[in-house]
Structure 1
Amino acid sequence: MLISVLLVAHIAVLGYWLGSELVINSTYRYVAYGRHIPFAERNRLMEHVMHVDQHVRYALVLQAGLGFGLATLYGMIPGGEPLAWAIGGVCVLWLGFVEAVHRLRHSAVGRTLGTIDRGSRYVLMAALLALAFGMFGGAWELPLWLRLKIGLFAGVMASGVGIRLALISHFRTWAVMATEGPNDTTNAIIERTYVRATAVLVGLWLFIAAIVVVSVVKPA
């Protein structure tokens, strides 16, 4: 029964993830090309984008927790149900940390938490790739299709980091616009940033599509 519930949740979270990404990208495009909109309104919409972006972060945490929980319950990772519940507990704590990073992002503590968050993602990506390539967990009964999914999930996370890097110029320019007002130069930078970030986002969607294909085909 528990496995069936987790499987349904695993699928539902994927739709939740993609839907959130589409809303974020659509709203950000409206903001980026909104030269005709008063900056105060654009800034309010940008804050909305940042709030909606949390749903993508939730989805990433949930997919990781559900995926490894299911692998444990299916016996592919040793530990059985006790480990699966432990993974669930870690997932809840991780969600709380992600929420704290968001809510405190404008404070000194929030900036420190954000640095820890970014660093932990690099560590997790390295761990996922090591697991995908059998550098650890070699004795576990992980089929090829699951190792492929784990490697592709690391690609999803890397794409998320790439989007963050692409948006650095946005936040720098946005701060200038907030103090000096927008002009043709700063608006052009924001529009170019949208294009770069969207290009990386397309890569993220391709990784997710590949994960779905691998999940259905299950290559041996």
Structure 2
Amino acid sequence: MNEYLLLKFAHILAFVYWLGGDLGTFLASQQVINRDNAPESRHVALKIMLACDMGPKLAMPLILPLGVHMAAIMGTLPLSGMALALIWGLCLYWFTVVLVLYLNEGKPFTAILSRLDFWFRIAFASGLAAWAIYTFITPDYGTQWAAIKLLVFVAMVGCGVLIRVNLAPFVPAFGDLMANGPTDANNSAMERSIGRCRPWVWCIWAGLFFNAAMGLHLFG
């Protein structure tokens, strides 16, 4: 089996775990904020939600280098070996940070690492957007097809950042629920927080569908 087919296989798996994990997270979140569920049941639903969320969280930093590597092989994104290695290195760093944060939840150092991860994603997405725009307007450098897929990925990373911002009020509200029981205040805070995340989740799904269609050359 050649290198390209192995990359394609891994790329498809990353897509499956991203979209499937996102769907599981979305459905579990509805049970977390369901006022009819007991706090213990909502706590179990939260654990399921966080476990499902690891699918997309780990798939996101892998799907990019896999796709870029395939594009380099096809010649749609001409890259040197060093440039390709840099992309893989940055994405594997991102992947490792996500895993470390999940496995060390609640430890003091994770607060700092989480903030660093937040700003890393913004910086990384900004650099990727600049590269994609340059590729789009410079035909000799790469194809507009590849540039569009990169820009869609940047938009999905941006949606993920906005989800994190909108989830911030959820954490103290859920903590209050578990400590003091359900109240209108903590229930409403969680519902608002999850509700504000939904449009960005739907945008991520649209981006995944669009890039999958582009990858299959249904258009573009």
Q: Same fold judged by TM-score > 0.5?
A: yes
Residue 14 of structure 1 corresponds to which residue in structure 2?
15
Q: How does 1:10-159 map to 2 (within 5 A)?
A: 10-33=11-34, 35-75=35-75, 76-80=77-81, 84=84, 87-88=87-88, 91-134=91-134, 141-159=141-159
Q: How does 1:121-200 map to 2 (within 5 A)?
A: 121-134=121-134, 141-200=141-200
Residue 5 of structure 2 corresponds to which residue in structure 1?
4
Identity %: 22
The residue type equivalent to 2:51 in the other structure is H
Q: Secondary structure at the match of 1:134?
A: helix
Deviation at 1:50, TM superposition (A): 1.6
Please give the alpha-carbon distance, in whole angstroms, between the structure 2 residues aligned to 1:48 and 1:11: 24
State the TM-score, normalizing by the size of structure 1: 0.87
Distance of aligned partners of 1:139 and 1:199 in 2 relative to their CA distance in 1, 3 Å threshold:
closer
The residue type equivalent to 2:192 in the other structure is R
The residue type equivalent to 2:21 in the other structure is S
Q: Which runs of 5+ in 2 are unaligned?
A: none
Please give the alpha-carbon distance, in whole angstroms, between the structure 2 residues aligned to 1:208 and 1:150: 12
The residue type equivalent to 2:144 in the other structure is L
Matched, 1:203 2:203: yes
State the TM-score, normalizing by the size of structure 2: 0.87
How many correspondences in the alignment?
217
The residue type equivalent to 1:167 in the other structure is L
Let me know the Cα RMSD of the aligned residues: 2.4
Deviation at 1:138, TM superposition (A): 5.1
Deviates more, 1:156-165 or 1:65-74: 65-74
Deviation at 1:91, TM superposition (A): 4.2
Distance of aligned partners of 1:182 and 1:103 in 2 relative to their CA distance in 1, 3 Å threshold:
same
Please give the alpha-carbon distance, in whole angstroms, between the structure 2 residues aligned to 1:7 and 1:84: 16
The residue type equivalent to 2:18 in the other structure is W
Q: Which runs of 5+ in 1 are unaligned?
A: none
Q: Secondary structure at the match of 1:77?
A: coil
Please give the alpha-carbon distance, in whole angstroms, between the structure 2 residues aligned to 1:203 and 1:157: 11
Please give the alpha-carbon distance, in whole angstroms, between the structure 2 residues aligned to 1:87 and 1:50: 27
